Each structure stands twice: as C-alpha cells, then as structure tokens.
Structure 1
Amino acid sequence: MTDIAALKSSVMVCMFDQYGTVVDMQGGLRDVAAELLRAKGWAGDPNSFVTWWRRTHFENSMIDALLQRERMAYRKIGELSVRQVMDRAGIAHTEDEVCALVGAIERLRCFPEVPAALDRLRTRFKLAVLSNGDPDMLERAKPYHGIPFDAVISVAEANVFKPHRATYEMAARRLGVTMDQVLFVANHEFDCVGAKAAGMRTAFIDRRRRPFAHWPYQPDLIVSSMTELAELMA
C-alpha cells in the first residue's frame, strides 16, 4: 500500500495527460461525430465509431514512434486515422469533414469534477500537462478547458509519442525536477505504465472501472476520479 504522506512530501509536480484525463475526449467527440454520421445516414453507433477512431489513432501513433523518423504531427495522424475508419465503415467523406472531426479535439471540455479538483491540488503542487497533442492544438484548447496550468508540454519536443520514456524525461527536465518528484496522472493504462517505467510516480484515474493489468509498473494510486485524487493528495 502506498504511503500517502511520503508521496505527498516527495512530489512537487502533478502532471496530467490531457486527452481523456483532463478533457472528456470520448464524450465530446461522440457528440460531434453523431451529428455528422446522422447527416450521412450511417446507422451505426457514434460511440463505437469514436472508440474505433481513437484505437486506430493510438495504433498509428505507435507505428510512427517505432519508425524512429521525424515525428508525424498528432493532427496528421488523427486525419489519417479518421479516413481509415470511415473508409473501412463505408462512410463517404470529404477532406473538410475529416479535418473538422479532428479539429473538434481542440474544443473539448473538462470532465465536470476536474476544475475544482485541480484548484485543490494547485494549493500544494505545480500543475502541468504532458500531451501527445501538437503545440498549436494544445494552445487552441486552453480557452475551452479553462485550466491555468503552470506548463503545457507537447511530446513534439521529444520527437516521439508517449509512452516512450524520452517524453517523460523531457517533461521533467523542462520543469527542473527529478523524475520521482512528479506524480503523473492519467486515465490511460499505457500512460501510467510509461511514466512509472521512466521513473515517475503515477496515479491511475479509473473512470471506466477497468482492472489494471499485471504490469511490473503499477500505479502508486488508483482512484475513481480527480476528486478522489485531490482528497488524497491536497
């Protein structure tokens, strides 16, 4: 069991994944996609469409990382993935429609409990984002999520996508802290595994009530929401 007092005394920065942890990516994109798919007469489930899109995006970003070439922009991988899913689903589409769907990522809103929880955490820690998103996408997102983070960092600076260890190491250097002075917070298992393997402390936001696989890199905390995280840490 994690010693909460020791964790609180050693951590200086709470660092968050943005898409799906701070902002509601699944719900927000589902609402946008539903309108487009309905207009096209597609009879499938918009939630399943978005799940398929997001999984394809993750797979394509991991392919890109393994190529060890210049990192492909998150936006371009998003467009590649939306085209791929729409082609496979037999949904006719234009380039403008593809770009509009991916552009909706910039306008996602926070999960309801996030602003208050982060306000509590801010009284004790610096707050930062480390995201696979492109710098311009993260900048455009700020008015929509409304969270005044101390730093918003894109993996573009490391030229590779999370969960590559170089992304977490770069973010810690940017903030002038050691790896174990960071509590990395994510709703995604892969991100918690990556951050923990790189040397950070981690908190898994288990919104979807899914068991964490038996990795050797287990999170220090498993909580049901940002509110619970704030109650433990702030």
Structure 2
Amino acid sequence: MTFDPDRVTTITFDSYSTLVDVDAAESALEARVEDPEPVSKLWRARSLEYTFVANHIDAYQPFYEMNRDALQYALDAHGVDISRAERDEILAVYHELDVFDDVRQGIDRLRAGGYDCYVVSNGNPEMLASMVEHAGIEGLIEDTISADEVETFKPAPEIYRHAAARTGTPIDEIAHVSAGWFDVQGAKHAGMWGIRVDRKGTPWEPFDGEPDLTIDSFHDLCEALGV
C-alpha cells in the first residue's frame, strides 16, 4: 500500500533504537568486560528473543526482567564473572540512554503540525518514565503505552490494537515509527501504517513486504506529512 499522509492523524513511536540509542549500553560494559561489543550485541539479541518466545509459551514478565535475564546470559556466554550488584549497575543504563539527535526537533515539528504523539513500547512503565525524562521529551509526548498493560510483547497484534484504543484513534489512522523490522511488520499487520526509521543504512528483511515508508530521520517523516 502506498503511504497516504492524509489518512494519518496520530503518530506512535517505538522507544529503544528508535527514540534512544541502545548501542550506548555498550559503554556501561566497558569497565567490566574486556571485549564489550559482542556481549552487548548478544544481550540485545537475547532480550528480544525472550520476548518473542514469551508470547508463544505464556511466560510474560516485565521487560526489565527480560533484559536482566538476557544480560546475565550474555555475560555467562562470554565467561564474564561479575557480582549481581555490578550486573544491576550495567542494567540500569537503560534508564539513561542517549536520545537520537533528530528526535526532539522532529517530534516538536509533528506536534506543531497537529499530530498527537505517543510511545508504544515493550518497556515496562518505570523504564518508559525514566526514558522519557532522560530524553527530555516529557512535553512532546501525550503518553507512553507499555506492553505491560496487556502483558504481551511486540509484534503481537494485541499491543497495537491496545495502543489504538488508548489513543482513541482508528487503527488505520496511526503511523507507527520504529527501527525494529519486526515492530514495523507487527504494526502493519495490525492495521497501522508501518514506518521504518533507518539511521544506519541497513537492508530491509526480504520477506512479507516492504514498510509503508522508510525514513532516515524524524525530519523525513515531517516532510512526508507536510509539516
């Protein structure tokens, strides 16, 4: 389907890797891990994999706990032996991730153009509250919508339908913006417009169709919407 900006009334954003840079979590590992990059990558990958599996075996737990378990696995897999307190200090970096440069101005432009903006995330409410505060977007976001509210993670359709209900918007009038391919696909299959933000120039997944729109930054979305 060709993206139709005239049919969009509400914008929803993913959080991690979309609003804030999860790669910055690698810096929290540097003081404790000799080679932090592979640990960081495995941590992130396992964290997402756990959410996918949890959806299918009814093993929901808040995302912070998923993230904790994934970090422990990544440390164990790379033979890193640190204390629980040190692990929790590393994990706490998710409360203070760096916001991408285009986020504040981009969302401000969208709001000025008349669009209500929300966060729809796997993160539990406490994580999202600290993320929004640290990113300095409290006055730009109408609300945060957490997977914890339905105890189901992306890309299950329930979370996107719940977001539509929470925003009071017909689901086909919502443009969901995400750096996560599975999140874009989930939003599209639930009935939203799926907008991919690709800041790194990575290829799209070669199955199940294309995003409705691919952007390099939030400013590209503003241009597409004419604001």
Q: TM-score, normalized by length of structure 2?
A: 0.93
SS of corresponding position for 2:195: strand
- 1:205 correspondence with 2:205: no
Match of 1:153, SS? strand
The aligned amino acid for 1:146 is G
1:79 aligns with 2:76: no
> What pairs with 1:146-161 in structure 2 (closer than 5 Å)?
146-147=136-137, 148-161=140-153
Deviation at 1:182, TM superposition (A): 0.3
Segments of 5+ residues of structure 2 without an aligned counterpart are none
Task: Tell me if 1:57 matches 2:53.
Answer: no
Q: TM-score, normalized by length of structure 1?
A: 0.90
Map 1:193-232 onto structure 2 (within 5 A). Answer: 193-232=185-224
SS in structure 2 of the partner of residue 54 of structure 1: helix
Deviation track 1:113-157 (CA, whole Å, cap 9, x = no partner) reads 111111111122100000100111111222210113011110111
Distance apart, 1:159 and its partner CA: 1.0
Cα deviation for residue 47 of structure 1 reads 2.7
Deviation for aligned residue 1:217: 4.3
1:18 correspondence with 2:15: yes
Measure, in 2, the Cα distance between the counterparts of 1:215 and 1:206: 17
Q: Secondary structure at the match of 1:111?
A: coil
Q: SS where residue 57 of structure 1 aligns?
A: helix
Q: List gaps (5 residues or longer) in structure 1.
A: none
For 1:84-117, what per-residue CA distance to the aligned partner results, in whole angstroms no more than 9, with x for missing partners?
1111100011111221222110111210111111
1:8 paired residue among 5, 9, 15: 5
Distance 1:98 1:79 in 2: 8
CA distance in 1, matches of 2:10, 2:66: 30
Deviations 1:7-31 (A, max 9, x none): 22211111000000001111x2012
Secondary structure class of the residue paired with 2:152 = coil
**Count of aligned pairs:** 223
Which position in structure 2 is the counterpart of 1:126?
A: 116
The yes-or-no answer on 1:34 pairing with 2:30 is yes
Report the residue type matching 1:8 in the other structure: P
1:93 paired to 2:82: yes
1:117 aligned to 100, 106, 110, which one? 106
Query: Secondary structure at the residue paired with 1:23?
Result: coil
The secondary structure found in structure 2 opposite 1:2 is coil
The answer to whether the 8 A contact 1:197-1:217 is kept is no
Matched-pair identity in %: 28
- More helix by percentage: 1
2:220 counterpart SS class: helix
Counterpart amino acid of 1:138? L
Task: Please state if 1:142 is matched with 2:132.
Answer: yes
Pairs within 5 Å for 1:155-194: 155-194=147-186
Please list the CA deviations of residues 52-111 of structure 1 after superposition, one character each: whole Å capped at 9, or x if unmatched. 110011111111111124x21111111111111111100011111221222110111210
